[in-house]
């Protein structure tokens, strides 16, 4: 069991480790360990494995064995997603939005949830429940850094991790905001490099991303 306050504290700790959280869509579990090791070596130890492929839970289990990695499950939508992610070894969860059932499942399973919000109303509803560390999603489609800055003015007590359309070109605009700790991005693990097992290339991308906002 975890309380909203403790979940927010833990997520803030996790999000403060590196400026970018890799958002990973992995189709082949055989690539999991090499990918995780490359990202950790490059300075991005917090890994979000999205539940968008049949291999995702196996990928989480494999990455959870990598020394130094902190592995979470993304695209949590149902209580079953939560239970399966915890069983696979996920230590935090990320969702595109938030429902009562999803939040209850995460609290019951002791999984810190980084719940998604795109509007002031959604952010306020989560704050009312005790969650003050949130995901801003979809970031670019929801107005980008200017929108998140505007939301932060009347709600300075909420901190965000923007995800969705974040890139090396616009990451600084998000990371420079006072209500942003880190951002989620998929560019550090491009599909072609993962498929080719180009771990040196991915480590290089991670090293560059780890310097953003500094």
Active site (annotated) includes residue 48: yes
Extended beta strands in the chain, E state: 20-24, 46-50, 70-74, 93-94, 113-114, 116-117, 133-136, 159-162, 183-185
What's the rounded Cα separation, in Å, for the pair 64 and 41? 15
Could you say which of 48, 62, 107, 203 is catalytic?
A: 48
SS3 state at 150? helix
What's the rounded Cα separation, in Å, for the pair 161 and 182? 5
SS3 state at 135? strand
Active site (annotated) includes residue 58: no
Please report where in the chains the tokens 């359309």 appear, as a residue.
165
Could you say which of 37, 107, 109, 135 is catalytic?
A: 135
Which class for 140: exposed (0-12), middle (13-18), buried (19 or more C-beta within 10 A)? Answer: middle
Catalytically active residues, by annotation? 48, 135
């Amino acid at each position: 069991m975890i309380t909203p306050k403790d979940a927010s504290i833990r997520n803030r700790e996790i999000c403060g480790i590196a400026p970018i959280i890799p958002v990973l869509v992995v189709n082949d579990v055989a690539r999991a360990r090499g990918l995780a090791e490359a990202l950790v070596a490059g300075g991005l130890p917090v890994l979000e494995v999205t539940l968008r492929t049949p291999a995702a839970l196996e990928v989480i289990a494999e990455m959870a064995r990598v020394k130094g990695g902190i592995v979470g499950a993304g695209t949590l939508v149902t209580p079953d997603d939560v239970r399966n992610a915890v069983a696979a070894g996920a230590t935090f969860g990320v969702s595109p939005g938030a429902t009562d059932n999803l939040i209850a499942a995460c609290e019951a399973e002791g999984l810190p949830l980084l719940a998604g919000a795109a509007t002031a109303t959604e952010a306020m509803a989560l704050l009312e429940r005790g969650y003050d560390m949130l995901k801003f999603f979809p970031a670019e489609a929801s107005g980008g850094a200017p929108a998140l800055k505007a939301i932060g003015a009347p709600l300075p007590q909420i901190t965000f991790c923007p995800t969705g359309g974040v890139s090396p070109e616009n990451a600084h605009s998000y990371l420079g905001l006072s209500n942003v700790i880190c951002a989620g991005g998929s560019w550090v693990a491009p599909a072609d490099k993962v498929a080719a097992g180009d771990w040196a290339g991915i480590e290089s991308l991670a090293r560059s991303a780890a310097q953003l906002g500094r």
